[in-house]
């Protein structure tokens, strides 16, 4: 059953990636220690990363059009986000904040202000990113949620990297992780419980921030909608001190509605 689960997940992963033909991957023996070592290293790294702040250039392309924006981005566990969209002269055009429970959004271009309990699909509405805030924080940090999942197979990739498939208690493939030859996470594929591909993330331009290698380019594909997003980060700070007010937004004096 382990072999069937791994083979099915590997085929799905290749289908999501739309790669060109490459040499075959080589399944590892069940008792090979490398997958467990890589997962332990990833979990240790993830536990040390609580927040990220930086400048972001976002490019979103899909069937309904394209979005380009420059942002000041702050993300903190478990689901806190601050996304400040900047104009040509770096003036604030729009600002979204959420603490994971409620959100506030101000669009200076439309003089619109909204404050309400967090609702599903908020980031899709605002930025065309089909992730919930908690998922977005984990994607940005490169710290995927692995709780209640177990490895069901692993394979050596042609370039020396390693692929690990994780399944839930029912045996359904839920995550596929790819590590490069140096053991750094370079790809994450996520499936829903019903087997539908949720999103596929690629991490690139890994540069040290302090002593931590951190991806400065993140590509996200959403197979169900055909949307692809690219986030290019700069001026990155990891685990910065963040006051609660960072994720709060006062209603503008003349917002023109709400």
| 219 in a structural domain | no
Q: Are residues 36 and 162 in the same domain?
A: yes
Mean of pLDDT over the chain: 89
Q: What percent of the chain has pLDDT over 90?
A: 78
Q: Are residues 39 and 149 in the same domain?
A: yes
CATH number assigned to the domain comprising residue 91 = 2.50.20.10
Q: What is the structure's pLDDT at 154? A: 97
| 206 in a structural domain | no
Query: Which tokens is 179 given?
Result: 């590590």
Q: How many CB atoms lie within 10 A of CB 249?
A: 18
Task: Work out how many domains the chain is built from and give that number.
Answer: 2
- Residue 183 buriedness (CB in 10 A; 0-12 / 13-18 / 19+): middle
Q: What percent of the chain has pLDDT over 70?
A: 88
85-107: b (≥16 Cβ within 10 Å) or e: bbeeeeeebbbbbbbbeebbbbb
- Residue 253 buriedness (CB in 10 A; 0-12 / 13-18 / 19+): exposed
**166 versus 249: which is more confidently predicted?**
166
Q: What is the structure's pLDDT at 19? A: 47
Q: Max Cα separation, the chain?
A: 65
Q: What is the structure's pLDDT at 235? A: 97
39-75: b (≥16 Cβ within 10 Å) or e: beebeebbeebbbbbbebebebeeeeeebebbbbbbb
Query: What digits encode the pLDDT tens for the residues 189-244?
Result: 999 999 999 999 999 999 999 999 999 999 999 999 999 999 999 999 999 999 99
Cis status, amide bond into 78, omega within 30 of 0: yes
E-only strand ranges, 99-184: 102-107, 112-117, 150-156, 162-167, 173-179
Give the least confident one: 128-132, 148-152, 185-189, 249-253. Answer: 249-253
Q: Are residues 39 and 71 in the same domain?
A: no
The DSSP bridge partners found for residue 81 are: 75, 98
Query: What digits encode the pLDDT tens for the residues 55-104?
Result: 999 999 999 889 999 999 999 999 999 999 998 888 899 999 999 999 99
Q: Are residues 148 and 182 in the same domain?
A: yes
CATH number assigned to the domain comprising residue 18 = 3.10.450
Would the pLDDT of 13 be above 90? Answer: no
Alpha helices in 18-79 (DSSP H): 34-48
Alpha helices in 62-162 (DSSP H): 122-127, 133-141
Stated pTM of the model = 0.87
| 210 in a structural domain | no
Average confidence (pLDDT) over 144-161: 94
Which residue, of 94, 112, 139, is where some domain finishes? Answer: 139
| 231 in a structural domain | no
Q: What is the structure's pLDDT at 218? A: 98
Q: What is the residue range of 24's domain?
A: 2-48+144-195
| 36 in a structural domain | yes
Q: What is the structure's pLDDT at 35? A: 96
DSSP 178: E
Q: Are residues 38 and 148 in the same domain?
A: yes
| 185 in a structural domain | yes
Q: What is the structure's pLDDT at 21? A: 53
DSSP 181: T
Would the pLDDT of 10 be above 90? Answer: no
**56 versus 22: which is more confidently predicted?**
56
Q: What is the structure's pLDDT at 22? A: 61
Q: What is the structure's pLDDT at 12? A: 44
Give the residue from 183, 143, 31, 174 showing the smallest Cα distance to 165. 174
Would the pLDDT of 18 be above 70? Answer: no
Q: What is the structure's pLDDT at 2? A: 41
Average confidence (pLDDT) over 147-173: 95
Angle, alpha carbons 208-210-211 (nearest 5°):
70
């Amino acid at each position: 059953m382990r072999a069937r689960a791994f083979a099915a997940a590997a085929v799905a992963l290749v289908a999501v990636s739309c790669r060109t033909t490459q040499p075959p991957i080589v399944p590892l023996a069940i008792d090979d220690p490398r997958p467990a070592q890589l997962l332990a290293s990833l979990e240790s790294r993830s536990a040390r990363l609580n927040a990220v702040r930086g400048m972001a250039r976002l490019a979103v392309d899909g069937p309904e059009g394209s979005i380009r924006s420059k942002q000041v981005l702050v993300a903190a566990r478990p689901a806190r986000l601050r996304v400040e969209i900047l104009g040509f002269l770096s003036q604030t055009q729009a600002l979204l904040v959420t603490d994971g429970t409620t959100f506030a959004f101000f669009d200076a271009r439309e003089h619109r202000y909204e404050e309400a309990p967090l609702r599903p699909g908020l980031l899709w509405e605002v930025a065309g990113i089909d992730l919930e805030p908690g998922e977005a924080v984990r994607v940005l940090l490169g710290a995927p949620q692995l709780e209640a999942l177990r490895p069901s197979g692993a394979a050596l990739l042609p370039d020396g990297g390693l692929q690990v498939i994780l399944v839930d208690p029912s045996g359904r493939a839920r995550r596929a992780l790819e590590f490069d030859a140096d053991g750094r996470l370079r790809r994450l594929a996520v499936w829903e419980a019903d087997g539908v591909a949720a999103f596929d993330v690629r991490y690139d331009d890994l540069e040290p921030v302090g002593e931590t290698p951190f991806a400065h380019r993140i590509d996200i594909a959403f197979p169900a909608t055909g949307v692809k997003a690219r986030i290019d980060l700069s001026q990155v700070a990891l685990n910065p001190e963040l006051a609660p007010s960072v994720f709060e937004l006062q209603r503008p004096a003349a917002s023109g509605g709400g």
